Amino acid sequence: MTALERLAATVASRKGADPDTSWTAKLLAKGPEKCAEKFGEEAVEAIIEAVKGDRAKLTSEAADVLYHLLVMLAARDVTLAEVLAELERREGTSGIEEKAKR
């Protein structure tokens, strides 16, 4: 199991947990919209660090983005396994070709 899979399992285990004892539970208790908002905030912070060129800060912000993506997905009952399956389905397909199919 990868670190990302372990994190996804931890996030899933926090659904319904006490928001006073878990940051993840607190985010999930605020609903999918708040989880999406937090994901967006973290994505913007990662973009800023990418533009600045600070590798260490970008790495840290990218980790935050992945965490908040998993929280947002959990808020809508989408699993990491489902996302990975979609990536596998797309594997070997040109991005141009894939977009044309939409």
E strand or H helix at 30: none
Cα torsion at 65, 70, 75, 78 (round to 10°)? 130
pLDDT at 45 over 80: yes
Q: Tell me the pTM.
A: 0.90
Write out the H or E segment, with its range, that includes residue 93. none
Residue-wise pLDDT for 12-37, tens only, equals: 999 999 999 999 999 999 999 999 99
Torsion angle, CA of 79/81/87/91, rounded to 10 degrees? -170
Q: Is the pLDDT of residue 102 over 80?
A: no
Task: With a cut of 90, say whether residue 95 has pLDDT above it.
Answer: no
